[in-house]
């Protein structure tokens, strides 16, 4: 073998050795990452399912309780240490985002939105506009007061 071939062989072996060292360090980290990612997905599905169950229970509670407290803005009931509370909130949903964006751009919110506005920010602005004395309804949005149910 020539010196050049010996040098090539040396660098090849060195590269393979370093690659094995890197793999040795990365393998447990990659396995943990995979396991945690799978666990997060599983938990995310569980959280989604719990959210649906909570929503269903809140609907059932509203159906039973709201006729009883009709006209009251805020109410609470103690059920052997479990306290249910309700208060109205204005739920805002986007139906026509383009119409909403056009209205916001022409009504002084151009700097806030920059044509990409977070849904929560848009809903906050819509609630503020609606709750003003002249009750401005932004085009493209729907408004509905719902009774928010809380449990302590």
Predicted confidence at residue 89, as pLDDT, reads 86
Predicted confidence at residue 131, as pLDDT, reads 84
DSSP 3-state of 141? strand
CA 122, distance to chain mean position in Å, is 15
Question: pTM to 2 decimals?
Answer: 0.60
Residue 113 structure tokens = 């939105």
Under 8 Å between Cβ of 110 and 104: yes
The predicted-structure confidence for 23-34, as pLDDT tens digits, reads as follows 999 999 999 999
Predicted confidence at residue 26, as pLDDT, reads 95
Taking 70 as the pLDDT cut, the residues of the chain under it are: 1, 111-117
Predicted confidence at residue 13, as pLDDT, reads 84
Residue found under tokens 């407290």: 69
Under 8 Å between Cβ of 139 and 99: yes
Please return the burial class of 126, using the count of CB atoms within 10 Å of its CB with bins 0-12, 13-18 and 19+. Answer: buried
Residue 123 structure tokens = 């809903």
Q: Where are the alpha helices (DSSP H) in 1-108?
A: 3-65, 97-106
Predicted confidence at residue 41, as pLDDT, reads 96
The predicted-structure confidence for 127-148, as pLDDT tens digits, reads as follows 888 888 788 888 988 888 888 8
Under 8 Å between Cβ of 69 and 77: no
């Amino acid at each position: 073998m020539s010196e050049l071939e010996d040098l090539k062989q040396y660098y090849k072996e060195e590269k393979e050795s370093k690659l094995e060292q890197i793999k040795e360090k990365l393998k447990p980290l990659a396995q943990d990452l995979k396991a945690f990612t799978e666990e997060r997905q599983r938990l995310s599905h569980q959280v989604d399912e719990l959210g649906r169950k909570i929503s269903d229970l809140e609907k059932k509670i509203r159906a039973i309780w709201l006729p009883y407290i009709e006209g009251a803005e805020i109410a609470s009931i103690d059920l052997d240490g479990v306290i249910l509370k309700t208060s109205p909130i204005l739920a805002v949903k986007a139906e026509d985002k383009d119409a909403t964006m056009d209205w916001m751009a022409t009504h002084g919110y151009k700097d806030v939105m920059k044509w990409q506005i977070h849904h929560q920010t848009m809903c906050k602005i819509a609630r503020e506009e609606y709750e003003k004395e002249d009750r401005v309804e932004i085009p493209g949005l729907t408004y509905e007061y719902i009774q928010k149910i809380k449990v302590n």
